[in-house]
Structure 1
Amino acid sequence: MTTAPRSPRLLLLSAVVLAVAGITLLGMPHGQVPQATTKPAATDARADTDPSSAAAVSPAGRPTASTSPAASAPSVLESALPPHGEGIAGDPAVQRNLEAAWPSDLPAADERVLLAAGRALLRADATGIGRTQWPTVFPDPDGAVAPAFASTGFRIQAAIARRDHSPEKAVVHLVWAGTDRGGIFTDLRITDWHFTRTVKKGTTTWTPQPRT
Structure 2
Amino acid sequence: MKRRPSSPRARRTRSPLALLAAGLALVLLGVALLYEPEPSTPEQPPVTRSARTAPQRPLHTADRTLVRAPQPEPTRSLVTGPGELPAPGEGPRADPAIQRVLRAAVPDDLPAPVARQVEALGRAVLVADVTGRGRPLWPAYFPPGQPVRAFTRMRVQATAAQADGTNRAVVHLVWAGADPGGTYRDGRPHTLRFQHTNKPTLQGVPWTPVP
Equivalent position of 1:119 in the other structure: 123
Question: Unaligned stretches of 5+ in structure 1?
Answer: 1-75
Quickly say closer, same or farther: Cα 1:81–1:144, change in 2 above 3 A: same
Give 1:134-145 correspondences, 5 Å limit.
Answer: 134-140=138-144, 143-145=145-147
Asked whether the equivalents of residues 157 and 173 of structure 2 are also in contact (C-alpha less than 8 Å), the reply is yes
Asked whether the equivalents of residues 109 and 162 of structure 2 are also in contact (C-alpha less than 8 Å), the reply is yes
- RCO higher in structure (CA 8 A, sep ≥6): 1
- Separation of aligned partners in 1, 2:85 and 2:93: 12
Deviations 1:166-205 (A, max 9, x none): 242210100000000011001100000011224469x982
User: Are residue 162 (structure 1) and residue 166 (structure 2) matched?
Assistant: no
Asked whether the equivalents of residues 167 and 196 of structure 2 are also in contact (C-alpha less than 8 Å), the reply is yes
TM-score, normalised relative to structure 2: 0.55
| Alignment match of 1:99 (pick from 88, 103, 119) | 103
| Alignment match of 2:151 (pick from 120, 142, 149) | 149
Aligned residues: 131
Equivalent position of 2:85 in the other structure: 81
Equivalent position of 1:19 in the other structure: none
Structure having the higher Rg? 2
Letter in 1 for 2:147: V
- Separation of aligned partners in 1, 2:172 and 2:86: 18
Which piece of structure 1 moves more, 169-178 or 101-110? Answer: 101-110
Question: Unaligned stretches of 5+ in structure 2?
Answer: 1-80
Letter in 1 for 2:102: L
Asked whether the equivalents of residues 159 and 171 of structure 2 are also in contact (C-alpha less than 8 Å), the reply is yes
Quickly say closer, same or farther: Cα 1:179–1:204, change in 2 above 3 A: closer
Quickly say closer, same or farther: Cα 1:163–1:146, change in 2 above 3 A: same
Give 1:8-19 correspondences, 5 Å limit.
Answer: none
| Alignment match of 1:131 (pick from 113, 130, 135) | 135
Asked whether the equivalents of residues 106 and 161 of structure 2 are also in contact (C-alpha less than 8 Å), the reply is no
Please tell me the root mean square deviation across aligned C-alpha atoms, in Å.
2.8
Equivalent position of 2:49 in the other structure: none
Letter in 2 for 1:194: R
Deviations 1:40-59 (A, max 9, x none): xxxxxxxxxxxxxxxxxxxx
What secondary structure, in the 3-state scheme, does the structure 1 residue paired with 2:149 have? coil
Equivalent position of 1:59 in the other structure: none
- Separation of aligned partners in 1, 2:148 and 2:196: 30
Letter in 2 for 1:81: L
Quickly say closer, same or farther: Cα 1:106–1:144, change in 2 above 3 A: closer
- Separation of aligned partners in 1, 2:138 and 2:105: 31
